[in-house]
Amino acid sequence: MSVDTNWSLDAVQSLRSMAREGVPVSVISLRLKRPVDAVCAKLAELGITPKLEA
């Protein structure tokens, strides 16, 4: 089971919530304990444009 590819419903909800709040991808990555690439890929899959890093 790979941490990068298996997203629980809770993790996806957290991801959506943080993205909506404008939390940077690097911070989302740390909070969800996932690589930045995995977070970006999931956001793209969900059709969510991440906030650009400051």
Q: Give me the pLDDT at residue 51, please.
A: 73
**Residue 25 contacts residue 7 (beta carbons within 8 Å):** no
**Residue 43 contacts residue 49 (beta carbons within 8 Å):** yes
Q: Give me the pLDDT at residue 5, please.
A: 66
Whether the predicted model's global pTM rises above the 0.85 cut: no
Query: Measured between alpha carbons, how far is 44 from 49 in angstroms, rounded to an integer?
Result: 7
Q: What is the pLDDT of residues 1-54, one digit of tens each?
A: 344 468 999 999 999 999 999 999 999 999 999 999 999 999 999 999 887 765
